[in-house]
A and B are shown apart, each in its own frame.
Chain A
Amino acid sequence: MLSHITPSVLAALGGVLGILVVASLVSALLKRLHPDKNYTELIQRIRSWWIMIGIFSGAILLSRTASILFFAFVSFLALKEYLSLIPTRRADRRVLFWAYAAIPFQYYWVHEQWYGMFIIFIPVYLFLLLPMRMVIIGETKDFLRAAGTLHWGLMTMVFSLSHAAFFLVLDGARNPAGGGAGLVLYLIFLTQFNDVAQYVWGKLTGRHKIIPKVSPNKTWEGFLGGVGTTTALAMILAPHLTPLTLVESLGAGLLIALGGFIGDVTISALKRDIGVKDSGSLLPGHGGILDRIDSLTYTAPLLFHFVYYLHY
C-alpha cells in the first residue's frame, strides 16, 4: 500500500505529527498555568491543524490519485470562497459554472501527466473561453471587472495550486530520496512553517512595519526572521525529500520564504479591498480556506518551476 511513499516521507510525516503533539501539549499546559487567560483561538487553531494535517496525510498515504483529488478539492473550496466573497454578476451564473468545471479538467491533466495541457489550459483556453461565454450572454455592464476578477480567481485558486499536485506525478526516479510526495511535503511544510516562523519572529522582535497599508501587523523583523529560519530548514530537509543540491536548496528556501510572504499579503490586500477580516469561517481559529492557502498560491508555482527547470 505504501509503495509510492519513501521512508524519509514517512519520517517527515511523523515529524509533523510530533510537532502537532507538542503544540497540543503546550496549549493544554498554557491553559492550565493561566486559567484566567483566553486561549480559545489558539486551541481552535491547533484543532483545525489536526484536521487539515490528518486529511492531507491520509490522502498522501492512501495513493497518488487520492492526493491529486485532495488538491482538487482544496481548489474547489478556495474558488468557492473567492467567488462568494467578491462581487459577481447575476448574468454570469453560467460562466461561473464553467469556471468550476475547469477544476476537474485541470486536475485530470495532472493525473494524466499531460504537462503541455496542464500549463496552458487555464492561462490560454479558459482565458479565451470565459469572456466568450460572457459575450454570448450579452451583459456588458461591468464586463471587464467580471472577466478580470474571474480569471484572477482561476489563476490563483486553481492554476497556481494545481502545481502542488503536479509534483506528485513527476518522474520518481529523479528524486529517489522523496519521490513526488517528498516534494509536495517539502513545499507544504516549508510554506506553512514560514507563515508560523514569520508570525513568531514578528511577535517576539517586530518593530518596523514592512507594508502598513496592506497588513499593519507585518514587520521587517518577522519577515527576515522567517526568511532565515525557513531557508535553514529548507537546506536541512532538501537531501531527504528533494533532488536539490545544497546551493539549490538555499535558493528554494529563499523562494518559499519570499513567495510565501507575498502570497500572504496579496490575499490580505484582497480582503482589505472587500472589507472583511477573514475570508470565511471554514477553519476555526484560522478563518477561511484562503487565509490558510494564501502563501501557497505563490510558493506552489514558484517552487515547482524552480525544481522542474533544474531537475526534470
Chain B
Amino acid sequence: MLQQLFFALIVRPLVLIVIGLNIRHRERIPLKGPAIVVSNHNSHLDTLVLMTLLPWPMLRQLRPVAAKDYFLRNRILAWFALHIMHIIPLEREILGRHQDPLAPCSEALKNGDILILFPEGSRGDPEQMGKFKTGIAHLAKRNPDVPIAPIFLHGLGKALPKGEALLVPFFCDVFVGKPLQWAGDKANFMTSLESAIKALAEEGHRPAWE
C-alpha cells in the first residue's frame, strides 16, 4: 500500500514529468515473471525508472537486487529499501565457502518475481559503463528458462549522478534489447550480454557531457 502510494504520488510524476523517458522497443519489456531485467547503472534513479516501466500490477513482485552493505547501513534506509523498494539485499563480500549469495535471487525467481539487476555492481563514473560482474551468469545458469532483458539507460547519470543530491531534469533514453537466455558457458553469456547493451547504446544520440 505504502509502496503503491510512493510510486503513484512521487515516483511516477517524477519520472514522467520532471525527467521524461524516450523509450525504444517498449514491447520487449517482460510483462510477467519470472524474468530478469539487466541494465547499466549510473544513478539511484535507474531503479525507479525501470520499476515504472514494468507492469503496474507486478509492482510488488519487482525486486531490485541491491548491495546489502550500502542499503542496509542504517535503520531508516533499510526500512525504505526493504519495505518500499522490496530489494533483495546482496552480500558483496562472500564471507564463507558455504554461503550462497544468490540463493535469495533464485528463490524470488521461483516465486515468479522480476529481478532488476545492475551487473556493474555500483553506479561508477557518471555515464561511463564499467565492467560487468559475473553474478548474473551464475543466476542465468541456474535458471536457464528465465528470460533476461538487457536495457540501456542514458541520461539519468546526468540528472542525478553519484554523490549529488540536486536533481537536474534531462530526458532519459531507455532502449530495450531482445531477451537473452543462458548460452551454455559463462564467457559466452557475459560477452553476449555486454555486447547487447553496447549495441543498444549505439542506437541513440548521446551528446558530449564532460
Contact = CB atoms under 8 A, between A and B. Distances in A.
Interface of A: 76-77, 80-81, 83-90, 93-94, 96-97, 100, 274-276, 280-282
B170 A83 contact: yes
Interface stretch (B28-36, B67-75, B87-95, B202-210): B202-210
The 10 A-B residue pairs with the shortest CB-CB distance in the complex, in nearest-first order: A87-B208, A84-B171, A87-B207, A84-B170, A281-B22, A97-B168, A276-B205, A80-B169, A93-B168, A96-B168
Contacts of A77: 20
**What secondary structure prevails in chain B residues at the interface with A?**
loop
Contacts of B161: 90, 93
B207 A100 contact: no
Interface of B: 20, 22-23, 126, 155, 158, 161, 164, 166, 168-171, 205, 207-210
B207 A89 contact: no
Contact of A275 (B155, B169, B205, B209): B205
28 contacts: A77-B20, A80-B170, A81-B171, A83-B169, A83-B170, A84-B155, A84-B170, A84-B207, A87-B207, A87-B208, A87-B209, A88-B207, A89-B210, A90-B158, A90-B209, A90-B210, A93-B164, A93-B166, A94-B168, A97-B166, A97-B168, A100-B168, A274-B205, A274-B207, A275-B205, A276-B205, A281-B22, A281-B23
Contacts of B210: 89-90
Contacts of A85: 205, 207
A90 B169 contact: no
Contacts of A274: 205, 207
A282 B207 CA distance: 18
A89 B209 contact: yes
Contacts, number: 52
Contacts of B169: 76, 80, 83, 100
Contacts of B23: 281
Contacts of B126: 90
A89 B22 CA distance: 21
Contacts of A76: 169
Contacts of B207: 84-88, 274
Contacts of B171: 80-81, 84, 280
B166 to A, nearest CB: 6
Nearest to B159: A93
Contacts of B166: 93-94, 97
B202 to A, nearest CB: 14
A76 to B, nearest CB: 8
A274 B208 CA distance: 11
A110 B55 CA distance: 41
A246 B126 CA distance: 58
A84 to B, nearest CB: 4
Among A80, A275, A282, the most chain B Cβ lie within 10 Å of the Cβ of A80
Contacts of B170: 80, 83-84
Contacts of B22: 280-282
Given A85-B207, A90-B209, A94-B166, 4 more contacts: A93-B161, A93-B164, A97-B168, A282-B20
Contacts of A275: 205
A74 to B, nearest CB: 13
Nearest to A76: B169
B3 to A, nearest CB: 28
Contacts of A94: 166, 168
